[in-house]
Amino acid sequence: MARQLFELVGTDDRRFSPYCWRTRMALAHKRLEAARVPVRFTEKELIAFSGGATVPVLVDGPNTVRDSWAIACYLEETYPTAHSLFGGPEGRALARFFNLWTDSVLQPSVFQAIVGDLFALVVDPADKEYFRKTREARLGRTIEEAHALRPEKLAAFKAALAPLRQLLAEQPFVCGAKPGYADYIVFGTFQWARMVSACPLLEGEDAVLAWRARMLDLYGGLGRGVAAFDTAA
């Protein structure tokens, strides 16, 4: 196949990266197939051809694109006649804001809440030393210290979701009546969390949980059909 998606892999072939899930959902949105190539954290040599050291990397015929946002823009420009990811320049500009908000506000709090489980359950034994060294440097604390902060990090995450919760009480998807790339951005965070930890991010009546269930149903249950530790969805 001429199209390949290089994505992060952990134990038992788990493909849990939130950024790779953005791309998987974007490809499904565009009805595009891709062969999925697993890459462990320390197998940087497999993606060195991309010019970077992180996944996702998309190879599409002669084109190589790295970074989930760049891939989404590439797909929209290269396959404009298929279902739109952004709905136009304004939608793309605001999806970029949504991407930056998710990365800077939501991801860090969830990461600290689940990193202990991620490390214990999903990081491949061959990657554990690398993971601990790089992530503890980023966190400024040990994985065990971060794990102990779970309650306050989950509380911060729930509070930060307030505007998204209000939005999803008004409309079925972030992008309105139909899902679009902004939905996939934040879905990646939720899908990653349920694939690496049994800890539920949200409980009870919550418009965000109802939205997550709708997202898991998309594209023949693409998100639902994977091994997850949090099976409440």
Close Cβ partners of 44 (under 8 Å, ≥ 6 residues apart): 53
**What whole-number distance in Å separates Cα of residue 27 and Cα of residue 45?**
25
- Residue with Cβ nearer a second copy (100 or 126): 100
**CA atoms of 19 and 22, how far apart (whole Å):** 5
- Site residues (CB under 8 A) for a second copy? 84, 86-98, 100-101, 103-105, 162-164, 166-167, 170-171, 173-177, 180, 182
Min CB(104)–a second copy separation in Å: 5
Residue closer to a second copy (CB basis): 36 or 96: 96
> Which residues, including other chains, have CB under 8 Å from residue 52's CB and lie 6 or more apart?
66, 67
Query: Least Å distance between CB 53 and a second copy?
Result: 21
Give CA 115 to chain center in angstroms.
Answer: 15
Smallest distance from the beta carbon of 100 to a second copy, in angstroms? 4
Among 207, 223, 121, CA closest to 158: 207
Conformation bin of residue 205: beta by default, left when phi > 0, alpha when psi is -120 to 50: beta
Measured from the CB atom, the residue of 36 and 165 that comes closer to a second copy is: 165
Nearer to a second copy, 151 or 163 (CB): 163
Strands laid side by side in the 57-60 sheet = 35-39, 3-8, 57-60, 63-66
Name the residue nearer to a second copy (CB basis): 45 or 77: 77
Tell me the closest approach of the beta carbon of residue 181 to a second copy, in angstroms: 9
Decide: 187 and 93 in contact? Cβ < 8 Å.
Answer: no
Measured from the CB of residue 93, what is the shortest distance to a second copy in angstroms?
Answer: 3
| Alpha-carbon dihedral sign for residues 86, 90, 95, 96 | positive
Peptide bond into 108 cis (omega under 30): no
CB of 167 to a second copy, least distance (A): 5
Q: 37 or 167: whose CB is closer to a second copy?
A: 167
Nearest distance in Å: CB 196, a second copy: 24
Nearer to a second copy, 96 or 128 (CB): 96
